[in-house]
Structure 1
């Protein structure tokens, strides 16, 4: 998708303002690199067939598990194992890069809602 071109994350994140709607910035080897702005609390869900990696670009981002909460800051990442129930949250707006298989729906096994992002939206 980027055809070997340099991508500016600052420019990509500046191109949208909505929360919880990941945008595809690049694709490689069946994976997507998605950019998302977050604020508030996302629904509990899991992904039976895929791990997700969240890398914080700006702000403070939480990944909440049923038994603990992990707080991430810029430059930190976490991999959520497949099948593990989790939800994500940010008290103030944060910008996050997500690495996951192309077919992953952001709300996983949760019922479709206003949080369910359309598939295939590129930025």
Structure 2
């Protein structure tokens, strides 16, 4: 039952696109990620995921539209929906999803696929 300081968690992250776990509940993981640039198109066949912006501007791009998010805004990507994420300048984002979900979904990418279970 430790308190998590989100800003301090982000301060410990020194890489882009590699989410770090800061909490777990009911089979879900709460992750922090710094993002800049464009992430690959991918899907998560069996899980929904939620992106909540802490700092900066962050986009979740779908084939039919773009969710452009600022601090305090979130979007839920339904399972099976192809998407990619992007940020023109560095953004800090919280991700909520089931434990063990690869961040690149159905795509393996040496630059973007993060290790499962990485914590800070």
TM-score, normalised via structure 2 length: 0.98
Per mean C-alpha deviation after superposition, the further-off stretch among 9-18 and 93-102 is: 9-18
Structure 2 unaligned residues grouped into runs of 5+: none
Runs of 4+ in 1 over 2 A off after TM superposition: none
Which one of the candidate residues 80, 99, 104 is aligned to 1:83?
80
Structure 1 unaligned residues grouped into runs of 5+: none
CA distance, structure 1, for counterparts of residue 43 and residue 101 of structure 2: 11
The reply to whether residue 57 of structure 1 matches residue 54 of structure 2 is yes
CA contact (8 A) 2:13 2:33 kept: no
TM-score, normalised via structure 1 length: 0.96
Q: Within 5 Å, which residues of 2 pair with 1:30-45?
A: 30-45=27-42
For the residue of structure 2 that corresponds to 1:12, the secondary structure is helix
Q: Within 5 Å, which residues of 2 pair with 1:20-35?
A: 20-35=17-32
Matching residue of 1:94? 91
The alignment covers a number of residue pairs equal to 120
For the residue of structure 2 that corresponds to 1:109, the secondary structure is coil
Q: CA RMSD in A?
A: 0.7
Give the C-alpha shift of residue 112 in structure 1: 3.3
Give the C-alpha shift of residue 5 in structure 1: 1.2
Deviations 1:65-86 (A, max 9, x none): 0011110000000000000000
CA distance, structure 1, for counterparts of residue 7 and residue 108 of structure 2: 32
